[in-house]
Chain A
Amino acid sequence: MSAVIQVENLSKSYLIRHKKQAAAGDKRGPLAAIGQRIRHPFTANHSSEEVETFWALQDINFEISQGQRVGIIGSNGAGKSTLLKILSRITPPSTGKVTLHGRVSSLLEVGTGFHPELSGRENIFMNGAILGMSRGEITRKFDAIVDFSEVERFLDTPVKRYSSGMYVRLAFAVAAHLEPEILIVDEVLAVGDASFQKKCLGKMGEVSSEGRTVLFVSHNLNAIQQLCDSAIYLKQGQTVDYVTGNDELEGLISRYYAEQTSHGKSEWRAENKHHNNPWFSPVAMYAANKQGEVHQHAIRNDEEIWIHLEGDIDNVTQELSIGYVAFDEYGTAVYASKISDTQTGTWPDLKKGRNQLKCRIPPRFLNEGKYSFKLVANIVGGKNWLFKARETNVGIEINIQGGLSDSPHWIRKRLGVVAPVLEWQQAD
């Protein structure tokens, strides 16, 4: 297996201009700025602008071998699209080097090469040529493209009359049939329906089984998990990790989930009414000590942790099942806990208005490490989750350090998600 893509020390910076905050007392407003511009048309207005270098990508290194299916994950603004743009040669890197072996075909946005006035047939030729196919090549693959895109009946209709689904299908079909050595696809699945997504994933899998390499960006992590055999995790323009193998991939995805939320804070407070619903609108979630003071720093393993959950309820129902799921830093669920876990009659009474719930985690339970606690809520017997632990951004993170045991033999972190101190004795 030889490397088809080699990326060395790749960085990309953009200059962003800020308008300096108008100095106090400077209330001349935009008209004054225009006046300035007219009086001195050729002097750049440096006095009122600040230029900042923004690194969209910083020192990225990786190698991809032939036939690999690589998913690129990361939150918005992590640099995924910039990376794909550099690999597709649309924009140059600021530093570093990329070596590509073979033809690259990229689909960064659906139907960019399409002209709305041209028919489907004409656009297939047009788009194929843009991707670097010759006329003969397109003619040979024409039937396969039409077949895949399922638009035979509308081949001679201008694409401006196409539904968005037909549009994506056609665009994807052309790119996928180019038979490139490297296929780069950015978030196209978001547009199509489920059956199309399945078809796309199938096609990409097929492409790679022919020894071609696929690079795939999607926010749909299930799709990445299904399709890819390796993944690159980008965060603020830097590579967090690059893994190969299904288990490793799953681990990375879980870790990404875990890191997604609450920015490592042991306290979450609602900023907007986004989570509004009559059954339970979360207002705050935090980890506190026995006295109810929020834990600001790392928590010792032998300290008590109280998970507080505050929220507003309009429709009081005992069918509300609410709690949290604890994940370790790799995204593995450690346990889940809910208000209705004990026998009936011992559950906290829910009331209309503000509810302040808390749950005690006993000392010497969680091992050293970072954990995230995510809100989970549903109505028992109801169809929909109010909050799903893996998807919600309502959650907190805590860091457990030290206090593992009183034993002189147990002074550093041991293997395991939990670290209970259990008693031993002679059995007889």
Chain B
Amino acid sequence: MDKMPRWADVFLVPFINLILAFVVSGLVVLAIGENPFKAIWIMISGSLGSTSGIGYTLYYATNYMFTGLAVAVAFHARLFNIGGEGQAAVAGIGTALVLLAFDWPYWWLAMPFAIIGAAVFGAAWAFIPAYLQAKRGSHIVITTIMFNFIGAALMGFLLNGILKNPDTQNAETVAFPKGAHLPTVHEVLSPLGINFAKSAPLNVSFLLALACAVGVWFLLWRTRLGYQIRAFGQSETAARYAGIDAVKITVITMLISGALAGMLSINVVMGEQGRLIKEFVEGAGFVGIAVALMGRSHPFGIVLASLLFGMLTQGGFELMWDMPAISREMVLVIQALIILFTGALDNMVRDPVERLFLRMRKRKG
């Protein structure tokens, strides 16, 4: 018998975690002499109060969905892919190479090829740690972290070298062809008579992220490969008994994970920046870990957690803007508290809630 109803597991526990995180964050805000209620109001109105705010929130959420799904797929095979940051960065090179290769006339023609480019490069960056784990037993947490640094160095090398736009001081490529520009939410909705802020970077990649979420769900719970991934993740010894090839599953899972992380570059590099800039991932790869944790590695949970973290990111920027006492580091503290409560301290809330449900059931029975 399950310890508590599913809705409590999926919604109630994360919700209580969130409230606790906000309470502690509020105390921190109070401690530096600001009004926590005002701070929360700024974050909410800043992220949801205008079409521009919503546009930014969903844009960030798109990134987190990609990286969150990447972590979750790997986690179902009990592989802790910390390398989303590096895989996304290297995928950016793939995206850029595809988009710079031709003078693309239409975005819908360019996008599938850019997706392939990003997927191949992202997957390739995940392949080496996966192979080392599967064949040599090198721990994937260590190797993926190291590959984040190697990826950053590779980006620096290429963007200060052969890929550099000679006309600027910055480490970035030349702008992609105009035809490769992805339609933003403003461009999509204005023909329908809906006026969405022009500044919002939200673009069609959002739909790609939702499609990936559905795809991951389908992969894990409907396909034979997904069945083997989950079986392998639940019990490596049982998987060996069943004759599931550990090397194959490890490598394939990490390829999928790397490709998903790579999709982030479609949203940022192709959708928003229109050229490849050195540090475009901006920590989204790491946030993906928290998103996957909070979403309990389920695509639906990840979509919800991504929206929350999108709000936090956008609201956090607004907060920095409106409350001078709150620095970028303060915003990080608040985000970290949420990660702490939803991830690391999850059992602190889960156990008492479980006990509560058991007691209620006993009283009924």
Do the two chains belong together in a single complex? no
Tell me the A residues contacting B by CB distance below 8 Å.
none
